[in-house]
Amino acid sequence: MSLEQLDAIKAGFRELYAGWSAGVGIAQMRSEWDAFLTLTRIDAAAQDVDADGVRCRWIRARAAREDRTILYLHGGGYQIGSTDSHFNAMAALSLDTGCRVLGVDYRMAPEHKFPAAVDDAFTAWRWLTQQGVDAKHIALCGDSAGGGLIIALMTLLRERSMTQPAAAVAMSPWVDMEATDASFSHNAQRDPVTQRQNLLLMARAYLGRAGNPRDPLASPVHANLAGLPPLLVQVGSGEVLHGDAVQLTQRAIAQGVDARLTVWPDMIHTFQLFAGRLDEADQALREAADFLRKKMNMGTRQ
């Protein structure tokens, strides 16, 4: 691990948040978040597409196959983040898997509350399969809020008796709207990305004041996970959402899911987004790519 790389990223978060005073609006936060995460840019082609009213973006690295697809749901507390901010993570996945990636710009809070993001994820999935893409040739990937969304999407597909994807990767998933795990206090001083109070505010903005924080589609830690496809969960040992990842994996295994957890020492929340800037991010994305290639019967990447 390069401590210099990690320290530079932590300093970047501190500088970013220092500029977010009480008078800063959500539009400015979104713009500055996107800019911070795209200081470097991995080489890949991008093409915007309308998926039955949901804004999406195709990301294709050189020589990416058209017969295998990763559907990517970005994080950002359901309020920030986009296919711009997450371009590098998607481009790295496309490069490392040899697949095309479809990023989903789902509707976000506070303008659009739960279950708008879930509805858009489902619409994007349905649109993709209606293009003639076999569900077994699709994998899901998401980080933070997007990690929770991919679990919600799979439970929704199961409830509607629809074919599941081949596999899924949840990176630093946020799956508990009540933020109950002890890691929120244990890692509070180690993780510059988010804190318990911030997540509770985001949960309220997403759910609304009368929303149920234990709704399984909002907090998949409360969902029935039986029958879901193989799942890889990645998390940093230094992040406040470490406990969410552990709980999700344990519950999945207990309910018969082929699930495994990889804990990355000292890493912060959603460290995978810093592809090209952090060695561990590149390594974690390669691990995710190897897992997805295997589950989509693509063999090992040479």
What's the rounded mean pLDDT across residues 76-83?
A: 98
Helix (H) or strand (E) holding 47, with range, is strand 45-51
Domain membership flag for residue 280: yes
- CATH number of 223's domain: 3.40.50.1820
User: Of these residues, 144, 172, 183, 219, which one is catalytic?
Assistant: 144
* Whether residue 178 lies in the annotated active site: no
What's the rounded mean pLDDT across residues 36-59?
A: 96
SS (H, E, C) 233-277: EEEECCCCCHHHHHHHHHHHHHCCCCEEEEEECCCCCCHHHHCCC
Residue 180 pLDDT grade (very low, low, confident, very high; cuts 50, 70, 90): very high
Domain membership flag for residue 248: yes
**2-40 tens-digit pLDDT:** 789 999 999 999 999 999 988 899 999 999 999 999 988
pTM here is: 0.97
3-state secondary structure (DSSP) of residue 45: strand
Residue 233 pLDDT grade (very low, low, confident, very high; cuts 50, 70, 90): very high
Across the chain, what does the average pLDDT equal?
96
Of 39-43, 150-154, 280-284, the range with the lowest mean pLDDT is 39-43
* Whether residue 269 lies in the annotated active site: yes
Q: In the 8-state DSSP scheme, what is residue 290?
A: H
Q: Using CB atoms within 10 A of its CB, is residue 210 exposed (0-12), middle (13-18) or buried (19+)?
A: exposed
Could you give the number of structural domains in the chain? 1
**Residue 122: is its pLDDT beyond 80?**
yes
Domain membership flag for residue 300: no
3-state secondary structure (DSSP) of residue 163: coil
User: Of these residues, 222, 239, 242, 280, which one is catalytic?
Assistant: 239
Domain membership flag for residue 301: no
Domain membership flag for residue 285: yes
Domain membership flag for residue 165: yes
Residue-number span of the structural domain to which 290 is assigned: 3-295
**Residue 44: is its pLDDT beyond 60?**
yes
Domain membership flag for residue 247: yes
Domain membership flag for residue 302: no
Q: Give yes or no for a contact between 257 and 228, defined as CB atoms under 8 angstroms apart.
A: yes
* Whether residue 239 lies in the annotated active site: yes
Q: Give yes or no for a contact between 57 and 279, defined as CB atoms under 8 angstroms apart.
A: no
**Residue 223: is its pLDDT beyond 70?**
yes
